[in-house]
Amino acid sequence: MSRAFNFSAGPAMLPEAVMRKADSEFLDWNQTGMSVMEMSHRSKEYMAVATKMEADLRDIMAIPDNYKVLFIHGGASMQFGAIPLNLCEQGDTVDYFNTGVWSTKAIKEAARFANVNVVAGGQEANPTEIPTQSEWSFSEDAKYIHICSNETITGLEFQEDQLEAIFAQGKPVIADMSSNIMCREIDVSKYAMIYAGAQKNIGPSGLAVVIVRDDLLGSAREACPTLLNWETYANNESMFNTPATFAWYLAGLVFEWIKEIGGVKAIAEINQRKAQKLYDFIDASDFYSNKIKDSERSWMNVTFDLKNSELDTAFLEASKAAGLLSLKGHRAFGGMRASIYNAMPEAGIDALIEFMQQFADQHG
C-alpha cells in the first residue's frame, strides 16, 4: 500500500508515523484486549491517555497555568456561537476583523448574540490582503476582538506586527487558529482565547481545542446551553458527557509526534522552508501565480492559479494520477490550493513542484 501526498484543506493528511502507531494498536491498546475507542472514558487507562494528551499540548504550546485547555466536540464552527454566549450579553458590542469566508461565518453567528462591529474588511468575500492599519476602526466598548488568524480558503495570514497592534488595544483577543495552530511558536499569554478545529494540525475532525484564560470562565450568559458553556468543560476535564475518545487519542499521538521531532520550533522551520520553496517556485514561473500579498501569505494554505484556467481540469487529473491529491481550490476562490500542514513532508512539496514544472513544460 502506498500513501499519496494529500493536499486537502481538512480533514487533512496526518503524520504517517501516527497512523502506523494507531494501526498497530487498533485492536488491542496497551495489552488491554480492546481498542481505545471501546474503552470507558472514565477508566483508569483512558484517563491516562487524556491526561497525557493535555500535558503534551500544554508543553508543545507552552500554555501558561492560568489557561484551561478544553476539548470540545462540534468543531470550530460551534465556537462561533459559543464565544459571544460565554463572553457577553445580548446588545454588547464585540469587534471582529473580516478577512475572508471564515471570519464572515464567525461574524454571522456572533451577530445573533451581540452587536458586531466590523473593525475592517468585509467589502469583498475573499480579500487577498489584510486591511491596512489606518483602516481599522475599533469600538471603545468592545468586550473582545476576534480574528481568524489564517484564512484557509485564500491562504491569508495575520503577521506579527498586525497582531501586536491588535494586542495593544488592551482588549481580550480571540483567535480562530483552525488552520495555523502549532505551525509556529506563539505567545499564548497574549490571547484571551484560542480555538481550532482539529482536522488540520491536530487530528480527526469533529473536535475543537479551546485554550481559554481562567478569568474568562464563569461569565456565560444565563441562556447559554450547558454544553456551549466553557465552564462545563473546565470543571469536568472536558468529560461532562462522553467525549470524542478516539479523536482525543489520535490528537495525543500527533502531539507526541510533534514532541519527538523537536516541538513547534522545529516544525516551524520546516514549515517556513516548505512554504517558501513553493511560493518561490510559483513566483518564478510565468505559468502559475498567487494572488495573496507577499508578506501575508500563509505557511499552511498555498493558493495558486494556472495562467490559463482552461487547463485546470487537466492539471487536477494529471496531479491526481501522479499521487498528488486534493489540489482543487475552494469553490469560493477557484484555482488551486495546496494545504501543507505540519504532517505534509517536505518530499511532498518537492514532488508537487516537480509535477508543476513538468505540467508547465508540457502545456506552456
Please state the closest distance from residue 280 (CB atom) to ligand PMP, in A: 25
Q: How far is CA 42 from the centre of its chain?
A: 29
Give phi and psi for 107, each to the nearest 5: -65, -45
Q: Which is nearer to ligand PMP, 247 or 360 (CB)?
A: 247
Q: Which among 200, 274, 291, 328 is annotated as catalytic?
A: 200
Q: Which is nearer to ligand PMP, 178 or 290 (CB)?
A: 178
Q: What would the grid cell of residue 318 be? A: 494529471
H and E: helices and strands count for the chain: 10, 14
Residues that bind ligand PMP in the complex, under the rule CB under 6 A: 10, 75-77, 102, 148, 152, 176, 178-179, 197
Task: Tell me how far apart the alpha carbons of residues 37 and 17 are, in angstroms, rounded to a whole number.
Answer: 19
Task: Tell me how far apart the alpha carbons of residues 49 and 126 are, in angstroms, rounded to a whole number.
Answer: 40
Q: Which residues pair with 67 in a beta bridge?
A: 213
Measured from each CB, the residue nearest to ligand PMP is 75
**Residue 11, Cβ neighbours under 10 Å: how many?**
16
Q: Which is nearer to ligand PMP, 57 or 177 (CB)?
A: 177
200 is catalytic: yes
Q: Which among 102, 230, 248, 257 is annotated as catalytic?
A: 102
Q: Which among 176, 257, 274, 291 is annotated as catalytic?
A: 176
Please state the closest distance from residue 75 (CB atom) to ligand PMP, in A: 3
Report the SS3 class of residue 62. coil
Q: What would the grid cell of residue 82 be? A: 459559543
Please state the closest distance from residue 81 (CB atom) to ligand PMP, in A: 11
Pairing of strands 193-197, 288-289: unpaired
DSSP state at residue 200: T
Please state the closest distance from residue 230 (CB atom) to ligand PMP, in A: 17
Task: Tell me how far apart the alpha carbons of residues 319 and 313 are, in angstroms, rounded to a whole number.
Answer: 10
Q: Which is nearer to ligand PMP, 46 or 238 (CB)?
A: 238
Q: Which is nearer to ligand PMP, 199 or 290 (CB)?
A: 199
176 is catalytic: yes
Contact 154, 100 (CB under 8 A): yes
Helix, strand, coil percentages for the chain (3-state, nearest 5): 40, 15, 40
Cβ-based neighbours of 247, under 8 Å, separated by 6 or more = 198, 203, 204, 205, 206, 207
Please state the closest distance from residue 315 (CB atom) to ligand PMP, in A: 23
DSSP state at residue 297: B
248 is catalytic: no
Please state the closest distance from residue 91 (CB atom) to ligand PMP, in A: 26
Q: Which is nearer to ligand PMP, 5 or 102 (CB)?
A: 102
DSSP state at residue 146: E
Task: Provide the annotated active-site residues.
Answer: 102, 176, 200
